[in-house]
Amino acid sequence: MAIADIRIHDPLWDDASELRRAEWRTLIVDLLDEAALFEGRPATVLHLEPSVGETTNVEPAGVMLRTDDPDFHPVEVWDETLARHFDEYLGTIRQLMDENLHPMRREAIDMAKKVVHDHAARRLAERLPDLSSSHEAHRRLFSLLVSLRTDTTKLPASHRHTLR
């Protein structure tokens, strides 16, 4: 089921600011442009939704992937390991927000952020092996998941994606 589009749960989308929706659109386009997702299967839409039992507010605790394909079983992508990567990733971003940070320390923390991003991508590849063979696609999915879990538009501009 090649993914033709990615949709964010309507209540999340509706509650988000226009800037946040623009960032989601950019992340979705980047992900779809990176690699064919679920290549070799009929085209479908990938839906990102709050996990069952989670509130449908702007920042869900968990994220469920489902498609319009009845043969695809919904997948909860957020597990303890990914949650730790998420916390560590945001922790490094918060450290980078310190304006008094020495440039060499900033560079080291930025490298740590990239390493955490890579670890999270590998975890997603383990949880979603059929998504793509592209490591970069899993990195981009993690970026999208991070933006669903926290309002990244409130982070310094240097840590956000360039909006299209």
108-160: pLDDT as tens digits: 999 999 999 999 999 999 998 888 888 999 999 999 999 988 888 888 754 55
List the Cα angle 84/85/89 in 5-degree steps.
Answer: 120
What percent of the chain shows pLDDT beyond 70?
Answer: 88
pLDDT of residue 72: 81
| Domain limits, the chain | 3-159
